[in-house]
Amino acid sequence: EPEVTQTPSHQVTQMGQEVILRCVPISNHLYFYWYRQILGQKVEFLVSFYNNEISEKSEIFDDQFSVERPDGSNFTLKIRSTKLEDSAMYFCASRGDSSSGNTIYFGEGSWLTVV
Amino acid sequence: GESVGLHLPTLSVQEGDNSIINCAYSNSASDYFIWYKQESGKGPQFIIDIRSNMDKRQGQRVTVLLNKTVKHLSLQIAATQPGDSAVYFCAEIFYGGSNYKLTFGKGTLLTVNP
């Protein structure tokens, strides 16, 4: 069964450093998302991406965050200067068009620890 | 307040019993609802979905019920197994033109006792 894959599974970084989290969405999907989950809390929306541009972003997704689809398969989330409060599990997700269903499928997550 | 929430943060059941996990939502315009299962250290895993024009949908050992009158969603798991132990999130989806917004609830921790 097709799945969303994410790398790295876990990353520890120094505060102020740049981090890039990588995702390979399901191959025929068109819509891409990043969500995050702080330990013990619910999953929160960060950003959605379609047709090579951001379609919606939350208040969390400030100027320190950016997303990119550098080629036909990868979808990345960059945090320019990490803060302690960026420590969380980051989930990539993807969705096909309406004809293939409306479910968002999630990857296994990248656990980011900022020290 | 949050537009999607759960009545119970934890639920403990005996193996073999049926489990019912509840969810309240406040956006009557939501078009679609999904139940996700999240095991420790893993991503949300799709379980079952239901459109807003449906009242009930059944899957393998799971049933989702939607009561639009009281804006209530439930997930029923038949013959609960230890492998069902996880956090269960309901999520509502709203289509606004070309926008698609998925909002998660807080989650219910289901513990299955052998």
pLDDT for position A99 = 73
Q: Show me where the domains of chain A are located.
A: 5-97
pLDDT for position A26 = 93
From residue B113, alpha-carbon distances to B1, B12, B14, B84 in Å are: 33, 7, 5, 10
Quick one: tokens of B31? 């078009």
Long-range contacts for A68-72 (Cβ within 8 Å, ≥24 apart)? A69/A32
pLDDT band at B106 (very low <50, low <70, confident <90, very high): confident
The domain over range A5-97 is classified in CATH as 2.60.40.10:
yes
Tell me whether residue B98 is in a domain: no
φ, ψ for residue B79, nearest 5 deg: 50, 60
pLDDT for position B6 = 41
CATH number at residue B62: 2.60.40.10
Choose the closest CB to A42 out of B34, B49, B105: B105
CB A94 within 8 A of CB A109: no
Chain B residues bordering chain A (beta-carbon distance below 8 Å): 32, 34, 36, 41-46, 49, 89, 93, 98-107
Quick one: tokens of A1? 């069964």
Helices and strands in chain B, H and E counts: 0, 11
| Overall domain count for chain B | 1
* A91 contact residues in B (CB cutoff 8 A): 43-44
* A48 contact residues in B (CB cutoff 8 A): 100
CA angle A101, A67, B49 (to 5 degrees): 20
Choose the closest CB to B100 out of A31, A105, A107: A31
Using the Cβ of A20 and the Cβ atoms of chain B, whether some distance falls under 8 Å is answered with no
Q: pLDDT for B81-98, tens place per residue? A: 999 999 999 999 987 666
Among A62-66, B2-6, B40-44, B104-108, whose mean pLDDT is lowest? B2-6
Using alpha carbons, select from A73, A68, A83 the residue that is nearest to residue A29.
Answer: A73
Distance CA A1, CA A26 (A): 10
Q: pLDDT for A30-81, tens place per residue? A: 999 999 999 878 889 999 999 899 999 999 999 999 999 988 789 999 999 9
| pLDDT over 90 (residue A102) | no
Tell me whether residue B113 is in a domain: no
CA angle B77, B80, B86 (to 5 degrees): 85
